[in-house]
Amino acid sequence: MTWTIDESRVRPFLTAAERHDVPALLWNAPQPDRSFSGPEDTEVPDAGRPPQARKHFKDFKDGKDRKDGKDGKDGKEVKEMKEMKDVKDTKDGKDRKDTKDNKDTKDFKDGKDNFDGAMAPPGPAAVVRQAQEPPAVGSGGMQRFAAAAELPGDGPEEAAAALRASRINRLLRRRGVII
Amino acid sequence: MSSSEAPGGALSGLVVVADPEDPVAIEVRDFVRDSGREATILDVFDAAQLFSVTVDGPTAVVEPALPMFLRLPGPPLRRISFDAEFQLNECLAHLWAVAALTPAPVINRPEPGGLGTGVSASAALTELRAGVPGGSPEIFSSRPYGPPGEPTDGQGTQWWVQDLDAWTTRPWPELPDALAPSADSSGPYRARWSAPEPLFESVVVLGDRAWRSSPADLDHLGLEGRSTEIVARLGLQLSAVVWRLSPDLAQAWPVVVEPFPDVEQLRMVWLGLGPQLVKVLFP
């Protein structure tokens, strides 16, 4: 049996012009403010700055080599060993890949279970962070981060002090205590 | 949300499906381009129109088969237009199929259960799904709520109350105006135990690789390995796990799993993460 569509009866829900307005319609409507409070944060997010003024990931250094997420003070050999250790520690194919044993299939039955009603896990747009720390400006900024990172770490108290002074701690604490 | 870089011709390279203003999407696109590959950012609507899924017998073919990086926006908090929301859901459904079926690498590939992840707004529920036992009790309420008894060992000694509207956190029973129920701040609230002056560490995970953000000597805690296990159980590929550490750095507890780490968190580990991200997307 042949089946034809009467094109004259097919109408899109939205015209092309309306479709391009949909993102603005959906996300720019008045919604509760989701930004973090922090009186000292007044920087405008990078996205609004012209490309040449933006700092890129590759321009940021925490004053040390973070290639393998470990302290870069060791030599190449030790670094390689550490990298192998990283892989060994983080790769446990049996325990990690077999996620079925750790999944409650009911939780993953449909998308609704993963979005807890009004308390939906937010996408990146909803988790709006307060303005970021001022980006590093040339070597001065890198030296500032290096100074914050290279506090003496001998003993748990000193190590805790170094952690508390680290950039990540300051960033997370500025957003409020995470619970 | 501005319009995305809707392509005029055939695409190759990485497709980042995100809000075109998303700083992470912009940085990833630029980094991939700097490494000599092509990359573009498309919003949900343009990305959905780019791909087609053809079912041929027992197989489904996705065209074009391009590496993807999904940073899909959360649903709008309020429904403004039924038609617009319908179109959004149609596009998301199509992208779900595309990202799930494509043989190309996908960061944040959807799980069979949906586009969402195992991460919940409830930390306690997330811990349960991640197989992490024994976290602090957690209370969601319409008004600030005090602690339900005494904390157990390791939970911390301070009860913190978070205003989920203003996104501020205060120690109980301190309730400044920002947290006192008022016309400007009506909650809801979420409360949990933590330390009076908590110490945090963030671990960014990509697949089976992980990078800590601070230079402190915390190797003995094995945070990288623990983070990759948690993230894998939650069905994520790229995420950040925030840990709370005891004052003597002898113990650590996962506090929150962020399925969409922000640009500041990723910058701190970018020297390791960036090249690995390119390797994963372009094997």
**Predicted pLDDT at B64:** 94
Looking at the fold, whether B18 and B103 belong to one and the same domain comes out as: yes
Looking at the fold, whether B21 and B54 belong to one and the same domain comes out as: yes
B113/A178 CB distance under 8 A: no
> Is residue A175 in some structural domain?
yes
Chain A: give the shortest CA distance to residue B5, in Å: 12
The whole-number average pLDDT for the span A86-115 is: 41
The whole-number average pLDDT for the span A20-32 is: 58
Helix segments in chain B, DSSP class H: 23-34, 44-50, 82-101, 123-130, 223-233, 263-268, 270-281
Q: How high does pLDDT run on average in chain B?
A: 87
The whole-number average pLDDT for the span B102-120 is: 83
**Predicted pLDDT at B154:** 81
A111/B113 CB distance under 8 A: yes
* Structure-model confidence comparison of residues B191 and B119, the more confident one: B191
pLDDT tens column, B237-267: 899 999 999 999 999 999 999 988 999 999 9
**What H or E segment, with its residue span, contains residue A68?**
none
- Among A149-158, B169-178, B264-273, the range scoring the smallest mean pLDDT is A149-158
pLDDT band at A3 (very low <50, low <70, confident <90, very high): low
How large is the angle between the packed helices B223-233 and B123-130, nearest 10 degrees? 90
pLDDT at A118 exceeding the cut of 80: no
Helix segments in B102-178, DSSP class H: 123-130
**Predicted pLDDT at B155:** 85
Order of all β-strands in the sheet with B14-17: B39-42, B14-17, B68-70, B106-107
Taking the CA atoms of chain B, what radius of gyration do you get in angstroms?
Answer: 21
Among chain A residues, the shortest Cα distance to B189 is held by A119
**Predicted pLDDT at B278:** 96
Looking at the fold, whether A108 and A141 belong to one and the same domain comes out as: no
- Among A57-66, A143-152, B273-282, the range scoring the smallest mean pLDDT is A143-152
Measured between beta carbons, which residues in chain B are less than 8 angstroms from residue A167? 213-214, 268
CATH number, domain of B205, equals: 3.30.470.20
pLDDT at B78 exceeding the cut of 90: no
The whole-number average pLDDT for the span B195-212 is: 95
> Is residue B257 in some structural domain?
yes
The whole-number average pLDDT for the span A11-28 is: 59
pLDDT at B217 exceeding the cut of 70: yes
Looking at the fold, whether A123 and A141 belong to one and the same domain comes out as: no
Looking at the fold, whether B59 and B97 belong to one and the same domain comes out as: yes
Report helix, strand and coil shares of chain A as percent, to nearest 5: 50, 0, 50
pLDDT band at B50 (very low <50, low <70, confident <90, very high): very high
Number of domains in chain A: 2
Contact B23, B267 (CB under 8 A): no
Task: Determine the Cα–Cα distance for residues B278 and B260; give it in Å rounded to an integer.
Answer: 18
* Phi, psi torsion values for B15, nearest 5 degrees: -110, 115
**Predicted pLDDT at B182:** 53
Contact A163, A151 (CB under 8 A): no
Chain B: give the shortest CA distance to residue A34, in Å: 7
Strands (E), chain B: 14-17, 39-42, 52-56, 59-63, 68-70, 106-107, 138-141, 158-163, 168-171, 189-194, 199-206, 209-212, 238-245, 252-258
**Predicted pLDDT at B194:** 93
- Give me the residues of B, 228-267, that contact A with CB < 8 A: 228-229, 232-233, 235, 242, 244-245, 247-250, 255-256, 258-260, 262-267
Looking at the fold, whether A141 and A116 belong to one and the same domain comes out as: no
Domain closes at, from B88, B107, B126: B107
CA within 13 Å, CB half, B220: 9
Domain enclosing residue A159, as ranges? 133-179
Domain enclosing residue B168, as ranges? 136-194
The answer to whether the Cα torsion of B251, B254, B260, B264 is positive or negative is negative
Contact B20, B38 (CB under 8 A): no
**Predicted pLDDT at B105:** 96
pLDDT tens column, B152-174: 888 889 999 998 887 888 898 87
Looking at the fold, whether B21 and B100 belong to one and the same domain comes out as: yes
Which tokens go with B35? 């490494």
Measured between beta carbons, which residues in chain A are less than 8 angstroms from residue B71? 123-124
- Give me the residues of B, 98-137, that contact A with CB < 8 A: 111-123, 125, 129-131, 136
pTM here is 0.69
Q: How high does pLDDT run on average in chain A?
A: 52
**Predicted pLDDT at A107:** 37
pLDDT band at B179 (very low <50, low <70, confident <90, very high): low
How many Cβ atoms are within 10 Å of B52's Cβ, its own excluded?
Answer: 11
Looking at the fold, whether B38 and B102 belong to one and the same domain comes out as: yes
Please, which residues have CB within 8 angstroms of residue B1's CB and are 6 or more apart in sequence? A23, A24, A26, A27, A28, A125, B19, B20, B21, B43, B73
**ipTM score assigned to the predicted complex:** 0.80
The rounded percent of chain B whose pLDDT value lies above 70 is 89
Number of domains in chain B: 3
Task: Determine the Cα–Cα distance for residues B175 and A70; give it in Å rounded to an integer.
Answer: 40
Please, which residues have CB within 8 angstroms of residue B132's CB and are 6 or more apart in sequence? B230, B254
> Is residue A137 in some structural domain?
yes
CATH number, domain of B62, equals: 3.40.50
**Predicted pLDDT at A9:** 55
